Structure 1
Amino acid sequence: MSFALPKGLIVSCQARADNPLHGPVFMGAMALAARDGGAKGLRANGPTDIRAVKSADLPVIGIHKVFSDEYPVYITPDFDAAAAIVEAGAEIVALDCTMRPRNGESPEVLVRRIREELKAEVFADISTFEEGVAAADWGATYVATTLSGYTEYTEPKPEFPDLELLEKLSKRLSVPVVAEGRYNTPEWVRRGFEAGAHAVVVGTMITNPREITKMFVRGGVPE
């Protein structure tokens, strides 16, 4: 089977509404910079930003964040959200495949519908080994450790990437496993590949200069 996502570094080009870099102009520029630096793919949020990052001519993992006061799942929580980002150009749909409650169809149903009706690949964001195995069984094209440390099953959030989960999934699954979550240095990225990752996703440490600046101020500037 051929995959849209090649092996290598994936750069997450996202900025929240309160970030000075929020918006498609900046996301498009980030995507071009990531491409020129050697990234093999991109992760972007929402139809507008996805259209902008397509200018880099790299595979796009699209997500569609839809927040709810009632439900914890917000990463592409329903089929309409998935359809919108595929229409915008995402070849791969990132989907929350945790066991948490959501407003709408189960992830098992969404994986099938996205593959069959939208003809897109599915990138399953999971937090536990059991969720990863289930997502692969449902037909997800990729399984990613994105949500390890961010669900009630895996809190408190550790300081470092979950290499143990990555290695267990890589040994168990036949689909590509992607490392994501706190891969904040080249050393951690290297260790992710050594643990079996098909690709490693990095966001904040490449595309969020505000948070990088805060890190330097906290760690290096005397009071």
Structure 2
Amino acid sequence: MSESLIPRGTLIVSCQARPDNPLHGPQFMGAMALAAAQGGASALRVNGAEDVRAAMPAGLPIIGIAKIVSEGFPVYITPSLAAAAELVEAGADIVALDATPRPRDGEPLAELIRRVSEDLATPVFADVSTLEEGLAAEQMGAAFISSTLAGYTDPAAPKAILPDLALIAALAARVSVPVIAEGRFNTPELARAALDAGAHAVVVGTMITNPREITRSFASALKRAP
């Protein structure tokens, strides 16, 4: 059932914009969702109940997240059952959440995954940063395991530039649920490499739906030109 929501070998487009982005808001994210659908995406990753509602006319399965920043808690991707319930009520078909063991302002991870899966009858998309976290999330009942947080959970570590294909391969070899590649897949070639490494599908965000960051990357490259 869960696997049928996201076909193997397909593209998931993350339609998100931070509050400081000119494209922030349901009107723009709804348009991004339609553009992604017309371009051949199989599903969408959308932040917040309002944007989930706006993305529904695109007619694709929606992976809903709720980014909630709480002081003293590093986990901010759907940290609680209440946040997950708002997404489901808005129309999300899948709920994505931070599945790392870091402190969260909400239910313990195992309880959260269980209650989203059972009480809300909605598949859980577990965002992880390591193989061990992926294995644990599967045991807790997650329907999808994603490399979303690879390279982002250790503030002291150097900023990663390339996707963690080694993690994708390790997860694909060890878990029985679909493994989703996400995080720095900024070219079609890297997305293809994720599938070759064993990913079920690939999430791409910034390089498709964030014109400001795409512009910055081009402008920065031109400044470095001789």
TM-score by length of 1: 0.97
Q: For 1:98 and 1:191, how far apart are their aligned partners in 2? A: 25
Aligned to 1:32: 34
Kindly indicate whether the alpha-carbon contact (under 8 Å) linking 1:128 and 1:154 is maintained by their aligned counterparts in 2.
no
- 1: distance between equivalents of 2:63 and 2:106? 22
Tell me the distance in 1 between the aligned counterparts of 2:79 and 2:48: 13
1:56 and 2:47 equivalent? no
Matching residue's letter, 1:87: E
Aligned to 2:175: 173
Shift in CA distance, 187/138, structure 1 to aligned 2, threshold 3 Å: same
Between stretches 86-95 and 4-13, larger displacement belongs to 4-13
CA distance in 2, matches of 1:141, 1:16: 27
Within 5 Å, give how 1:1-223 maps onto structure 2: 1-3=1-3, 4-7=5-8, 8-152=10-154, 155-221=157-223
Distance 1:27 1:39, change over 3 A: same
CA contact (8 A) 2:100 2:129 kept: yes
| 3-state SS in 1 of match to 2:76 | coil
The Cα offsets for residues 1-41 of structure 1, whole Å up to 9 and x where unpaired, read as 55322220000000000000000110010001001110000
In the alignment, structure 2 segments of 5+ residues that lack a partner are none
- Quote how far apart the aligned CAs of 1:61 are: 0.4
CA RMSD, aligned part only?
1.4
Q: Distance in 2 between matches of 1:189 and 1:145?
A: 13
Q: Is the 8 A contact 2:131 2:167 kept in 1?
A: yes
Query: C-alpha separation between the residues in 2 aligned to 1:193 and 1:157?
Result: 24
Q: Deviations over 1:67-106 (max 9, x none)?
A: 0111000000000000000000001000100011112211
The code of the aligned residue for 1:16 comes to R
**Distance (Å, rounded) in 2 between the aligned partners of 1:76 and 1:134:** 18
Q: Could you tell me whether the CA contact under 8 Å between 1:128 and 1:165 is conserved in 2?
A: yes
CA offset at residue 66 of structure 1? 0.6
Distance 2:7 2:76 in 1: 26
CA contact (8 A) 1:148 1:154 kept: no
- For structure 1, the residue ranges without an aligned partner over 5 or more in a row are none
Q: Is the 8 A contact 2:43 2:62 kept in 1?
A: yes
SS in 2 for 1:165: helix
Change (3 A) 1:96 1:73: same
Could you tell me how far apart the structure 2 residues matched to 1:180 and 1:157 are?
16
- Once the two structures are superposed, residues 141-177 of structure 1 have per-residue CA deviations (whole angstroms, 9 ceiling, x without a partner) of 0000000001028933321000000000001110000
Q: Are residues 184 and 195 of structure 1, via their aligned partners in 2, closer, same or farther at CA, if it must alter by over 3 Å? A: same
